[in-house]
Amino acid sequence: MGFDQGLSTMWTADEIAQLCYEHYGSRLPKQGKPEPNREWTLLAAVVKIQPTADQACDRSDGPVQVTKEVVSMGTGTKCIGQSKMRKSGDILNDSHAEVIARRSFQRYLLHQLHLAAALKEDSIFLPGSQRGLWKLRPDLLFVFFSSHTPCGDASIIPMLEFEDQPCCPVSRDWASNPSVETSDNLEAPEDKRKCEDPESPVAKKMRLEPRTPGGTAHCQSFGSQEKGPNPPNVSGSNLTAEELASVTGMTRSGAQVMDVYRTGAKCVPGEAGDSRKPGAAYHQVGLLRVKPGRGDRTCSMSCSDKLARWNILGCQGALLMHFLEEPIYLSAVVIGKCPYSQEAMQRALIGRCQNVSALPEGFGVQEVKIQQSDLLFGQSRCAVQTRKADSPGRLVPCGAAISWSAVPEQPLDVTANGFPQGTTKKGIGRLQARSRISKVELFRSFQKLLSSISEDKWPDSLRAQKLATYQEYKEAASTYQEAWSALRKQAFGSWIRNPPDYHQFQ
């Protein structure tokens, strides 16, 4: 067994979840957390796994003892509409927990590169084989945790007939007038999150199914991507129960697939759309999706799409690739207790891109390990709903997002609507009205790192030309851009990209 493989077997999904829940409780402030019995949120984190100090040098065949450390964390459920986007890079477009955790992780990586450049021994990086480049220590790996399946493709999963419906049935009075506008009645910008609230009008609208005269819901098979009129022959195959359900509408036990858990993420322009047929055929699986805003379309791709992208391009982004010999990949993804399908997770994160080829050296489709924990996040919609029980008032998603990074200076960042919480309209544009994980602030940290290194030790990609804007620095990361171009050409051609004029800040 390889040393890194040994590391990956020395933790469990429950241990990762518990560590993240404890970190949330002890290290994150009350500010930005959900209001008890009224609000809920989502949690995501990156956990560093490494052998204990006394085993780092001892590569015997004995069991590997590891330390697990949360190095970044994010909470949040919101997203801004495209009309709120700014060309100055000082607003967070996407504040879903997974995206906040990843941006917080980039902040951690920048700090670790600062340590490496200053020749500090406690950095996670070692000198690479080329001038100015660094590589991750071989005895480290990173695990991504999310308290819920990522929005988009990974959340489209079969719902069996004996399962509790996630939303309340719709009264016939309401059903007789389905044209009533409901989308503005909730503050949640993402219909997936709305659908998880049983009291949500949008959830009820999405659960409305035509009924036969006998009163039973129509049943249709889960949206398979098979194009022919006949379903594929599945008899005698090695399909999982969920894979069987996905093509036949029936599990081996005979339970019928009545519906799918819905995602509010919308198909991007240029992609084939959802059928929106009643029941299990409502969604088309495997598609790129964009997070819907509250009455204002967003330009933010779903978290399923972003995780799939990170699984090929790495989590470091274009800027940090200037300093790295190889991308920083996640070794595993752990999901908390929630509606879950292993098949949907594999499809969304790996399967859609598994045939992407001709990538630059160091890049590749990763066989990320995907697991689910049995531990429920205490601030999740489901947990809060259970505690709330019969207490009055509507349950709503928390409007704030919290970012935490394992850095010595100002590790915390609490935002609302893309700006630090408490920012007034008059204050927007000032330095103090910038999140520490906004594009412009991460770019500033990158420039600070660059200025701390003597120019003769800069990597070749930064020495070849005079660069000024955020866009120019991103484009100059040639291997990253080559990999991103290959991914778009072969799998993600409809990916929504921000226009270049949104990246011209310095």
pLDDT of 257-276, one tens digit each? 667 777 878 888 877 777 77
Confidence check: pLDDT of 174 > 80: no
- Residue the block writes with tokens 């993240």: 20
CA–CA distance, 500 with 477 (Å, rounded to integer): 16
Confidence check: pLDDT of 185 > 60: no
Instruction: Identify whether the C-beta of residue 67 lies closer than 8 Å to the C-beta of residue 394.
Output: no
* Residue 396 domain-assigned (yes or no): yes
Mean pLDDT confidence for 330-356: 97
Confidence check: pLDDT of 220 > 50: no
Q: Which amino acid type is present at position 305? A: D
**pLDDT number for residue 179:** 30
Q: Which amino acid type is present at position 400? A: A
For the packed helices 342-349 and 303-313, what is the interaxial angle rounded to 10 degrees? 60
* Residue 211 domain-assigned (yes or no): no
CA–CA distance, 495 with 301 (Å, rounded to integer): 8
Mean pLDDT confidence for 446-464: 94
What total of structural domains would you count in the chain?
1
Confidence check: pLDDT of 144 > 50: yes
Mean pLDDT confidence for 59-66: 71
Instruction: Identify whether the C-beta of residue 335 lies closer than 8 Å to the C-beta of residue 144.
Output: no
* Residue 198 domain-assigned (yes or no): no
Instruction: Identify whether the C-beta of residue 190 lies closer than 8 Å to the C-beta of residue 201.
Output: no
Confidence check: pLDDT of 349 > 50: yes
Instruction: Identify whether the C-beta of residue 414 lies closer than 8 Å to the C-beta of residue 400.
Output: yes
Instruction: Identify whether the C-beta of residue 107 lies closer than 8 Å to the C-beta of residue 405.
Output: yes
Q: What is the mean pLDDT of the chain?
A: 81
**pLDDT number for residue 263:** 80
- With cut-offs at 50, 70 and 90, classify the pLDDT of residue 60: low
**pLDDT number for residue 165:** 43
CA–CA distance, 170 with 209 (Å, rounded to integer): 9
**pLDDT number for residue 442:** 98
**pTM of structure:** 0.82
CA–CA distance, 49 with 500 (Å, rounded to integer): 37
Q: Please give, one letter per residue, the 3-state secondary structure of 464-493.
A: CCCCCCHHHHHHCCHHHHHHHHHHHHHCCC
pLDDT tens digits along 3-33: 455 565 689 999 999 999 999 999 999 999 9
Number of alpha carbons in the 13 Å side-chain half-sphere of residue 73: 25
* Strand locations in 52-198 (E): 66-75, 77-79, 94-96, 125-127, 134-136, 141-146, 157-160
- Residue the block writes with tokens 């003769």: 456
* Residue 86 domain-assigned (yes or no): yes
* Residue 13 domain-assigned (yes or no): yes
**pLDDT number for residue 57:** 55
Confidence check: pLDDT of 188 > 70: no
pLDDT tens digits along 156-169: 988 865 555 443 33
For the packed helices 439-451 and 97-117, what is the interaxial angle rounded to 10 degrees? 10
Instruction: Identify whether the C-beta of residue 329 lies closer than 8 Å to the C-beta of residue 343.
Output: no
- Residue the block writes with tokens 């309401």: 174
**pLDDT number for residue 347:** 97
**pLDDT number for residue 41:** 98
CA–CA distance, 330 with 307 (Å, rounded to integer): 10
**pLDDT number for residue 416:** 96
Q: Please give, one letter per residue, the 3-state secondary structure of 383-450.
A: HHHHHHCCCCCCCEECCEEEEEECCCCCCEEEEECCEECCCCCCCCCCHHHCCCCCHHHHHHHHHHHH
- With cut-offs at 50, 70 and 90, classify the pLDDT of residue 399: very high
**pLDDT number for residue 296:** 83
Mean pLDDT confidence for 491-505: 92
* Residue 485 domain-assigned (yes or no): yes
Confidence check: pLDDT of 496 > 60: yes
Confidence check: pLDDT of 320 > 90: yes
Confidence check: pLDDT of 476 > 70: yes
Of 71-80, 160-169, 228-237, 401-410, where does mean pLDDT reach its minimum?
Answer: 228-237
* Residue 315 domain-assigned (yes or no): yes
Residue 70: which domain range?
4-52+64-163+259-499
First and final CA of the chain: distance in angstroms? 47
Query: What are the residue numbers of the active site?
Result: 98
Residue with the bigger pLDDT between 219 and 375: it is 375
Instruction: Identify whether the C-beta of residue 291 lies closer than 8 Å to the C-beta of residue 192.
Output: no
**pLDDT number for residue 225:** 28
Instruction: Identify whether the C-beta of residue 293 lies closer than 8 Å to the C-beta of residue 286.
Output: no
* Residue 450 domain-assigned (yes or no): yes
Distances 128 to 4, 132, 136, 153 between C-alpha atoms, Å: 19, 8, 9, 37
Q: Which amino acid type is present at position 382? A: C
> Is 319 in a helix, a strand, or coil?
helix
Q: Identify the H or E element spanning 103.
A: helix 97-117
Q: Which amino acid type is present at position 295? A: G
Instruction: Identify whether the C-beta of residue 479 lies closer than 8 Å to the C-beta of residue 360.
Output: yes
Instruction: Identify whether the C-beta of residue 300 lies closer than 8 Å to the C-beta of residue 152.
Output: no
Of 172-176, 250-254, 300-304, 440-444, where does mean pLDDT reach its minimum?
Answer: 172-176
Of 88-102, 220-234, 433-447, where does mean pLDDT reach its minimum?
Answer: 220-234
The torsion of the CA quartet 284, 290, 294, 295, rounded to 10 degrees, works out to -80
CA–CA distance, 84 with 26 (Å, rounded to integer): 33
Confidence check: pLDDT of 129 > 70: yes
DSSP state of 40: E
Confidence check: pLDDT of 358 > 50: yes
Mean pLDDT confidence for 398-407: 98
Of 27-41, 155-169, 490-504, where does mean pLDDT reach its minimum?
Answer: 155-169
